[in-house]
Chain A
Amino acid sequence: MSKRYVGKDMLKVDAESKVTGRAQYPSDLKFDNCLHVKIKRATYPHAILKDLDINRAKNIDGVVDIITAKDYPNLNKFGLIIKDQDVLIKMGEKMKFMGDALAIIIAETEEIALKARDKIGVEIKKLEVITDPLRAIEKDAPPIHEDLSGLCTDYLKPNLNQKNILVDHYLKKGDVKKGFTEADLIVENEYRTQHIDQLPLQNESGYALYDDKKDEIKIWAASQWLHDTQADVAQSINMSKEKIRIIQTAIGGAFGKKEDVSVHIHLALAALHTQRPVKLEYTREESMIAQSKRHPLIIKAKTGVSSNGYLTAWSVEVIGDTGAYASSGPAVVHKGMYHCTGPYNVENIEGTSYAIYTNNTYGGAMRGFGTTQMAFAYESQMDILAHKLNIDPAQFRYQNAYITGSVTPNGQKLGKSVNTKRTIESVIDLAKWEGEINK
């Protein structure tokens, strides 16, 4: 049936406001009597905080106050899935990556706040910096989070350092040994992907205001999930969820980077502390160092195929660098593994995946969420196999592709809307691909 509004190229509702510059991004908001906030961050990727000297910074004209963990000893940790991230690093405790916050500087202008930030003295005791997940899983590697345990399954190999493993996951379908025995050709490769910044044009930015009549903190800042950010802010500063109000601004891109808390908790504390409007805006440098990354994955993929070009077995091991904090890490790496065969029928599958703590900037959500990295592996494997078998890569994909009734590596039977083959047929027409598909 023909539709009047669905299926039409309606102009985006925010197109005009964005083109004319009327859209209100956080930095476009104006508050009278507003204070400026900057964050003093870690000076080393893995170190114990021995001393924090804020006196010289505090004496600068125009500095309103500097908040450290000492001022709010009862703050709770925050995080998207697991609460493992400190709002402010306490004396005697560890900074775990370069984005960790040591102090919140509040001043009359941004320039003064920056000047004060650079006058803060930090004394540390350096620890081994673990930057390679393969080092982190060695038994003698120091634990990055001493206080976290119990997240690993009982199936974890005993030779691995479970202190630095955030989560482990497993995949078992059919009989992978039998599948490889039946294979006429086996291809095995290791794939590696990199740290990527989601790089939305708009850096993390926001305002906050404490309303003493309502005992409510209002925060104007972008979030990909308002109610989740609200809940995380509320629990971290021990306020009821109803007392934290987050108002969405125009969002200048996100791509996963605006799922995590960024400016929100520090703004809430500064607003509560000063009872004046406060503003905090990250620089690009700060945004890249302190906010989430796409997880670099090491993927070992082994694929078996019969001489007539049908997949018989697939196994993967996935090692994900989740950096200093969990963020979306408990969900990303194994989502990649669950997509290890791509849209192809394979009866016999085995997989293992680990998300591993390091002292790198933490891995979080980014468009594709583990499956982007995995597609690089499985589609390279498919191409290699096609060439080795001397079958047209399009034909090889087509004859292994999912159809209605196919079963995913998770054992999910696909009952409807399985249009894999149609995408291959269509693109072959569109690109004038050499060679025909044998249906």
Chain B
Amino acid sequence: MRKKGRGMATIMFGFGYGEGFPDHSIAEIEITTDQKIKLRTAGADVGQGFLTTMIQIAAEVLKIDSSYIEIVGQDTHQAKNSGSTSATRQTFFSGNAVREAAEEVMGMIYHHGSIYFNSNHPELTVKDGEIYACDNKEEKISYWELAEIVKQKGDNLQAEASFFPKTYVPDEKTGQSEKNYVAYTFMTQVIDIEVDTDTGIIEVMNVYTALDVGKAINPQNVHGQIEGGTVQGLGMALMEEQVIKNGITINPDMTNYLVPSIQDIPEFESTLIENEDSDGPFGAKGIGEPTLIAACPAVANAVYDAIGVRITSLPITPEIILNSLEENNN
């Protein structure tokens, strides 16, 4: 018999290394004379869209189409430290460094532009890679032309920024810390499942998610993180386990180590909560890790809802379901 169940989980995640660990990211922006904007970051894009996010932030601040922005510096000898792509920190840390570097460059554009137009900052318009006096749209110069002028003066339209917020080491005895993590992300998920009481197999039907993202720099990529993270969490909830017996892994291959496949993926509906209220770029928060975290308890709670059995160890395999049902019957 198939029994339906529904479970909820609300989670939080303190992101960044926190705990007083020195955590920072350095980024550099340069407007070059060859119609390019170089965005220098050593941050790793592990597939989640980090570099795309950085380009969108730079394009927004620099008011220019994202196609002009080129990533450089994916090399220890070409860029300074951006910190790790971990701890759900890159959008917040590198995003802020990129935003600051871009704002510095924007300041330089206004500074040198105002000299060129013999005017002052408020009387200039800067957009789409062009600078002109507000009262005369006919006479324009491009960012690249300005870069050339600045170069002849022995300077560059280039700036580097480091974002380096402070956290505090927790007390050794009590764990108390005035600021332990830079910020927290919250998420609530409802997961619908069906439990086959004859086979013990759990099918995940629907996943409903509300994610406190602050501001989605790239909404599609945020939805991608929700879906990818949740599916990885469902793997942990239902099937994944590296079995190590007496120090020896007995399933070191993908035949015997099960992960969700395309057939295991449920329907998703998600809401992004965008209060734009964090200290991240444009109010954004980190969401990489939080998207995985609610799946295990939401599934366990749905199992209880479906068959009245409380499972306290993972993964919740068909064997565990069948054994629990039998115990309950006895």
A: residues with CB less than 8 A from B are 3-14, 44-46, 97-98, 129, 131, 153, 155, 169-173, 189-197, 199-200, 222-228, 230, 242, 244-248, 251-256, 258-259, 284-285, 288-289, 293-294, 331, 334-335, 337-339, 342-343, 351, 359-361, 365, 367-369, 371-372, 375-376, 378-380, 382-384, 387, 393-394, 397, 401-402, 408-412, 414, 416-420, 422-431, 433
Contacts and interface: CB of A to CB of B under 8 A. Distances in A.
Nearest to B209: A427
Interface centre among A9, A228, A394 (most CB of B within 10 A): A9
A97 B242 contact: no
Contacts, number: 368
A407 B186 CA distance: 15
A224 B176 CA distance: 30
Nearest to B249: A289
A368 B186 CA distance: 13
B315 to A, nearest CB: 6
A98 B249 contact: yes
Given A193-B236, A426-B271, 8 more contacts: A171-B174, A189-B312, A191-B313, A224-B46, A225-B85, A259-B84, A342-B10, A376-B300
A367 B289 contact: yes
B198 interface: no
B259 A13 contact: no
B246 A131 contact: yes
A59 to B, nearest CB: 30
Contacts of A228: 84
Nearest to A254: B46
B257 interface: yes
Interface in B207-228: 208-212, 214-221
B245 to A, nearest CB: 7
Contact of B288 (A194, A247, A367, A393): A367
Interface centre among A190, A256, A368 (most CB of B within 10 A): A368
16 contacts: A5-B56, A10-B56, A13-B55, A45-B248, A170-B172, A192-B314, A194-B240, A196-B242, A343-B184, A367-B232, A367-B288, A409-B175, A410-B180, A412-B178, A424-B188, A424-B210
B11 A253 contact: no
Interface of B: 6-14, 17, 19, 42, 44-47, 49, 51-52, 55-57, 59-60, 63, 66, 71, 74-77, 80-87, 170, 172-181, 183-184, 186-190, 192, 206, 208-212, 214-221, 229, 232-233, 235-236, 240-249, 252-254, 257, 259, 269-271, 273, 275, 277-279, 281-282, 285, 288-289, 292-294, 296-298, 300-301, 304, 310, 312-315
A387 B13 CA distance: 25
Contact of A411 (B75, B178, B181): B178
Given A288-B252, A423-B211, A411 B176 contact: yes
Nearest to A379: B297
Contact of A393 (B55, B212, B301): B301
Nearest to A246: B76
Nearest to B191: A431
A3 B282 contact: yes
B123 to A, nearest CB: 21
A13 B71 contact: yes
Given A247-B75, A383-B301, A417-B275, A372 B292 contact: yes
A14 B51 contact: yes
Contacts of A416: 277-279
B208 A338 contact: no
B254 A244 contact: no
Contacts of B177: 410-412
